[in-house]
Structure 1
Amino acid sequence: MASLTDLGFAYSPSFTLERYKFLAPLFHNSFSIKPSSRISTRIKNHQSTSFIVTKPSKFREFRVFRSVELDQFLTSDDEDEMSEGFFEAIEELERMTREPADILEEMNDRLSARELQLVLVYFSQEGRDSWCALEVFEWLKKENRVDKETMELMVSLMCSWVRKLIEEEREVGDVVDLLVDMDCVGLKPGFSMIEKVISLYFETGKKEGAVSFVKEVLRREIVNAEDDGKGQKGGPTGYLAWKMMVEGNYHEAIKLVIHLKESGLKPEVYSYLIAMTAVVKELNEFAKALRRLKGYARAGLIAEIDVENVGLIEKYQSDLLADGARLSSWAIQEGGSSFNGVVHERLLAMYICAGRGLDAERQLWEMKLVGKEADADLYDIVLAICASKKETSAISRLVSRMEVMSSLRKKKTLSWLLRGYIKGGHINDAAEALTKMLDLGLCPEYLDRVAVLQGLRKRIQQPGNVEAYINLCKRLSDTNLIGPCLVYQYIKKYKLWIVIK
């Protein structure tokens, strides 16, 4: 994930931290420094009076004040090592009569790394001044005294503050302000805090808050994610849409991106691709639901889909495709030609899921033109869709590719072709495709042969189907794919039975 620097946090150079009185939350999960430092802290939510250091030399008294408790990992030897400077620093910082940086600069040589970590912990407690903790951390950064453990500690504290703000349903502006403060003091975790905040909103069941948060981030233009379209979630809009998709809310993810764009905000380019993926998934789920519905109707469990509902189904599908086309247009406009290939790839997936053969075929050639050749299996799938609707011109163009194919590839392509014909009810065309396979010396799959023969046999009473059935039986018999067969035909005019072998 991108860091806050990578995400382009923007703030004015003249910005100075105000003394925000953020109430730091109960730090539920213990934060433990690695065993080598032997320090582990737990923040507790005790309601007690203000902190007063009466005897700096006695660490036991500090240990029970307010809400700080140092656990058994801090030994008696460690307690003896705590200097008077540590307690003086706490007392001076509490008074707030001077800038924290001035106090710490004056006591720099008297405070150890462990003591500085405990100063951070102390001022991150419930009811303390989080501004002071941020100032302490900023000074540590300037003095190059922030090691990995201190960074992890501060990140954990900040995440706790954010969680507290979210749980208390504070304004999203307060959450964004805190993130800006974090960036200003140089807190750079190895992950995106924007994404962390969105996740926290989801974890606490406040998804609407996540939407409001993303809107505020975009409105302030504090994030300018660099989208490369290579698999990263890209920024706040894309990450939020991705979170919605993970929960199966595909349509919600689509509408989110479109709404933000049409509201005059500037979602990152990659969010359009995320939304297009959501369109593909929604179309796929819709197609599966529709197949189940038709299956129930065939089984007599429900009534057949009437004309009105058919119209609603087609409209819903068309609306999804229109959304996908709009998103693709934005992606190419804002992302440039480098996005052409991935955009056409998603458009292809959309039209395949919707069963739009001609549109899907056009995307195949578009991908080829921009140098992103589609997989051969995708050509076969599109061929089957076109065959199911008997799109003759498209079928001819797609089949022409077989001239440079291997025998195995030709067999696979022709198998998809005849299956498409069968699905669309074009049995005679399927028989021709099967015969072509035999002419090329290819052996059709058993189930394909059976499906075509059964389809012809069901229609044998119709004019012309007898010859097609007999011819196919003969071809299959000549190649030893079926045994000899007899066909009985009754000519009513002459009251004559004819047996054909």
Structure 2
Amino acid sequence: MASAYGFASPTKLRFSPLPSFSHQPAANQLFATPCERNCAVACYLRMPSRIRGRKNHPFFTAGPRRFPRFSLSKSLELEEFVTSDDEDEMGDGFFEAIEELERMTREPSDVLEEMNDRLSARELQLVLVYFSQEGRDSWCALEVFEWLKKENRVDKETMELMVALMCGWMKKLIEGAHDVGDVVNLLVDMDCVGLKPSFSMIEKVISLYWEVAKKDEPILFVKEVLRRGIAYSDNDGEGHKGGPTGYLAWKMMVDGNYRDAVKLVIHLRESGLRPEVYSYLIAMTAVVKELNEFAKALRRLKGLAKDGLIANLDVENVVLIDKYQSDLLADGVCLSKWVIEEGGSSLHGVVHERLLAMYICAGHGLEAERQLWEMKLVGKEADGDLHDIVLAICASQKEVNAIGRLLTRTETASSMRKKRTFSWLLRGYIKGGHFDDAADALIKMLDLGVYPDYLDRAAVLQGLRSRIQQSGDVGAYLKLCKCLSDANLIGPCLVYVYVKKHKLWIVRML
């Protein structure tokens, strides 16, 4: 007989189809005799209000109760829990329990309490399976499970079985044409009977919607969960916190829909639904990824324009590009404020880290530098590579004061660290076309005993040479050549300068 102890995840099971919800028999077909009808009415009036309302539940199947010989439907495919051998192991108590529960003349808890000593753990599991089959009152399975919980008779195998059944019902609702409200109601019913799986069933529902390519329904589902205030686990057992909004935003990010993830979180927050705090951080990550992808696309576009394959961007397109980037940054700043308002001080460092990444992707040097200091103030020091990247951005924009502040870190740094920092500084100057400043940085490196790489030296010299052709100023070029020669980084060379006004060539040995 198959065992359930090897069960890894309910998603690996094949679930049985749900009862048909379209069939609703006429009122005069519900009871065979007036006596049976009166007995059922009396039983209904004794029921708790929660159970009386189950007629509207998508898994309530109304109809005459006639007890058949128990057999496993071919449509039921929970092989890890049930095999054909189980029927031979069932005693008379099992069939009597099924018959009593089918009649619905007494509370399920009363029936089970009366027959408690006659039902084994395996038979109780099969009761759950029986009422999950097509055409049965699936709500009864929930009531049986509720009684098992109260009697402390839910072991690991029974819990896994019930979770598998519930996942099957969820999947049937989602794949069908059922309203999102039915799915939410089922979640509420699960909570009422104490069914709390080790994973988040809300995240499971979102995943099921995503698998069947229904993109609008999970948004409606998350809205309904937040509106009703349905409790959800905000910790996955590994210290990672989350919730429905953040999980849905993460699913969107996995598909590359970064902008949609940001809009989702902002829309829910502005609608007054108050998503979980960690969803704001996930949305900030989506802003970073969108800015990064946008920057890469813009670089490719400029490269094509430089090669003459497409026309240069006109003023209108440049304005649109700047606006899109500004809107993304504004969304990120808005999300950061919500995290600081609603989250604890422990999240402040993470917020400034996300803001730093945003401004780096957008190429905003001064704002990025400010986030470095903000991180330092809250005790979250950024690593040296991030400082160097911000330094390069500031160098490309020739932010003199910011460059001076960022270079103070090199005073106590090792020789290797100094070389890395100055290499980033040179690249920033070269990218911004500030070759005089790049030459000064090279000379400063030599004064500090740090030797620049060949490519960095060559790039600065080439930039200075191209400038000589435009302005005729050779001072910076000659100065740098002499320093490099003194440091034995270049060999002796002759510099030829032609003075056009006097038609005079000047030759100088370095």
TM-score range, shorter chain: 0.7 to 0.9
From 284, 295, 306, give the equivalent of 1:287: 295
CA distance in 2: counterparts of 1:372 and 1:465, whole angstroms: 46
- Runs of 4+ deviating beyond 6 Å: 69-77
Contiguous gaps of at least 5 residues in structure 1: 1-13, 26-48, 55-60
SS for the counterpart of 1:294 is helix
Question: CA 1:496–1:171 in structure 2 vs 1: closer, same or farther (change >3 Å)?
Answer: same
CA contact (8 A) 1:226 1:234 kept: yes
Counterpart of 1:30 in structure 2 is none
Q: What is the deviation of 1:19?
A: 2.2
Give the equivalent residue in structure 2 for 1:353: 361
Question: Is the Cα–Cα contact under 8 Å of residues 81 and 161 in structure 2 kept in the other structure?
Answer: no
Q: Is the 8 A contact 1:430 1:452 kept in 2?
A: yes
CA contact 1:254–1:275 (8 Å) conserved in 2:
yes
User: Given the superposition, is the C-alpha separation of residues 65 and 318 from structure 1 closer, same or farther in structure 2, using an over 3 Å criterion?
Assistant: closer
Gaps of 5+ in 2: 1-47
Query: Structure 1 50/126 Cα, relative in aligned 2: closer, same or farther at 3 Å?
Result: farther
1:166 to 174, 190, 195: 174
Matched, 1:16 2:50: yes
Q: Distance in 2 between matches of 1:457 and 1:123?
A: 86
For the pair 1:330 / 2:308, whether they are aligned, the reply is: no
Secondary structure of 1:295's counterpart equals helix
For the aligned residue pairs, the C-alpha RMSD in angstroms reads 2.4
2:482 maps to which residue?
Answer: 474
Following TM superposition, by how much is the alpha carbon of 1:303 offset from its aligned partner in structure 2, in angstroms?
0.2
* Shift in CA distance, 185/329, structure 1 to aligned 2, threshold 3 Å: same
CA distance in structure 1 between the aligned counterparts of 2:378 and 2:79, rounded to whole angstroms: 63
**Distance change in 2, residues 1:470/1:186 (3 Å):** same
Corresponding residue for residue 259 of structure 1: 267
Higher relative contact order, chain-length normalized (CA < 8 Å, sep 6+): 1
Residue 208 of structure 1: aligned partner: 216
Question: What amino acid is aligned across from residue 254 of structure 1 in structure 2?
Answer: V
**2:478 pairs with 1:443:** no
- Among all aligned residue pairs of Structure 1 and Structure 2, give the percentage whose two residues are the same amino acid: 75
Report 1:136-151 matches (<5 A). 136-151=144-159
Q: Does 1:177 align with 2:185?
A: yes
Q: Give per-residue Cα distances to partners, 1:328-384, cap 9 Å, x unaligned.
A: 011101113222111111011100000000000111111111111111111111110
Equivalents in 1 of 2:287, 2:356: separation in Å?
12
Offset at residue 231 of structure 1 (A): 7.1
| Equivalent runs, 1:63-462 vs 2, <5 Å | 63=71, 78-223=86-231, 232-462=240-470
Write the distance in 2 (CA, Å) between the matches of 1:124 and 1:299.
66
Asked if the contact 1:234–1:268 (Cα under 8 Å) also holds between the matched residues in 2, the reply is: yes
Q: What TM-score do you get using the length of structure 2 for normalisation?
A: 0.85
Inter-partner Cα distance in structure 2 for 1:377 and 1:69: 55
Q: Distance in 2 between matches of 1:72 and 1:411?
A: 62
Deviations 1:104-124 (A, max 9, x none): 111111111111111101111
Amino acid aligned to 2:429: Y
Does the 8 A contact of 1:51 with 1:66 survive in 2?
A: no
Matched, 1:496 2:494: no
| Cα distance between partner residues in 1 of 2:49 and 2:159 | 23
Task: Give the CA deviation at 1:80.
Answer: 3.5
Measured in 2, the distance between the counterparts of 1:179 and 1:130 equals: 14
Decide which moves more: 99-108 or 471-480.
471-480
Distance 1:464 1:340, change over 3 A: farther
What amino acid maps onto 2:435 in structure 1? I
How far did 1:257 drift?
Answer: 0.4
- Quote the residue 1:486 is aligned against: 494
**8 Å Cα contact 2:108/2:143 also seen in 1:** yes
Letter in 2 for 1:490: Y
Amino acid at match of 2:465: R
How many equivalent residue pairs?
A: 458
Deviation track 1:83-103 (CA, whole Å, cap 9, x = no partner) reads 011111111111111111111
Letter aligned with residue 209 of structure 1: E
Task: Supply the AA of the counterpart residue of 1:176.
Answer: V
Q: TM-score, normalised by structure 1?
A: 0.87
- In structure 1, C-alpha distance between the alignment counterparts of 2:275 and 2:174, rounded to whole Å: 23
Whether contact under 8 Å (1:456, 1:465) holds in the other structure is no
Moved more, 278-287 or 87-96: 87-96
**Matched residue SS, 1:16:** helix
| 1:24 and 1:164 in contact (8 A); partners too | no
1:483 is displaced (CA, Å) by 1.8
Give, in whole Å, the separation in 1 of the partners of 2:80 and 2:402: 76
